Structure 1
Amino acid sequence: MRLILTALVFLAGLFDLFLAIGFLTDPVQQATGFGIAASGVGGISTIRADFTAFFGVAAFCMMWGAWRRNADLMLVPALLFGTSFVGRAINLAAIGAYPGWQLQMAVEAGHVLLMLAAWRMLPHHRLQDIAA
């Protein structure tokens, strides 16, 4: 079960890595797929920086954590995607539904559930273990 879970985390990390690369190399096209329109150079810069950071950090933590069997690294993407999920839920309650919201929230919830499952199943590496 741990091997399957580790493989799923690594594959999800690859998916997020490709998203990060897409936002880095072609932010306007990638943002359009997310329903975002860039406004001017500053908007494109923000999309390139923020989305690359979000998906890139999540991907790095997932892939490195899976590779090193370090469950503690799974908490970072769990918090990132959990925060996104809560933000979408608040938006859904405050403003209402929009086309595609179910898939976006399902992907975020899936990431959170996968990361929490990995956090529970994989070994934890405490700081004293690393320093020794």
Structure 2
Amino acid sequence: MKLVLRIVLGLAGLVFVVMGLAFWANPATPAARLGIEAASALGTSSLRADMAAFFGVAGGLTLLAAVRANARLLTAPLLMIAIALTGRIITVIVDGYTPDMMQPMVIEAILLALLAAGRRLI
């Protein structure tokens, strides 16, 4: 069970690292998939900086935790995903729900459960 969890977390971490690198390479494409658009060069710079940082750090730490079997390394990604999901829930409460919001919320909820399990078990 621990090995399977480590493999799943490692794959999730790798996907996040790739997403972070995609924001560096061509920020408009991954941003569009997330419903985000840069209004200016400052926006493009913010996508490269902030989104790459979020995905890169969360993914890098998750991948490293899986490789080293070090549960403590999952604390930061766990908090990052929890805060992201909380932000989405606040958006639903304040602005209302639209169907396109469901997929990222489900992904974040699954990641949150995996990270919590990893934090406890590996």
- Matched with 1:29 is 29
RMSD, aligned α-carbons: 0.7
Query: Which of the two has higher C-alpha Rg?
Result: 1
Deviations 1:34-90 (A, max 9, x none): 101101100000011000000000011101111110000111111001000000000
- Matched with 1:39 is 39
What is the TM-score when the length of structure 1 is the normalising length? 0.90
Q: Structure 1: where are the runs of 5+ without partners?
A: 123-132
- Matched with 2:6 is 6
> Within the alignment, does 1:92 sit opposite 2:92 as a pair?
yes
- Matched with 1:107 is 107
SS where residue 39 of structure 1 aligns? coil
Q: CA deviation at 1:99?
A: 3.6
CA distance in 1, matches of 2:39, 2:54: 20
CA distance in 2, matches of 1:112, 1:75: 11
CA distance in 2, matches of 1:37, 1:118: 34
> Within the alignment, does 1:49 sit opposite 2:49 as a pair?
yes
- Matched with 2:74 is 74
Q: Structure 2: where are the runs of 5+ without partners?
A: none
CA distance in 2, matches of 1:103, 1:62: 21
SS where residue 24 of structure 1 aligns? helix
Q: CA deviation at 1:28?
A: 1.1
CA distance in 2, matches of 1:106, 1:13: 17
SS where residue 38 of structure 2 aligns? coil
Runs of 4+, deviation exceeding 2 Å: none
Number of residues paired by the alignment?
Answer: 122
What is the TM-score when the length of structure 2 is the normalising length? 0.97
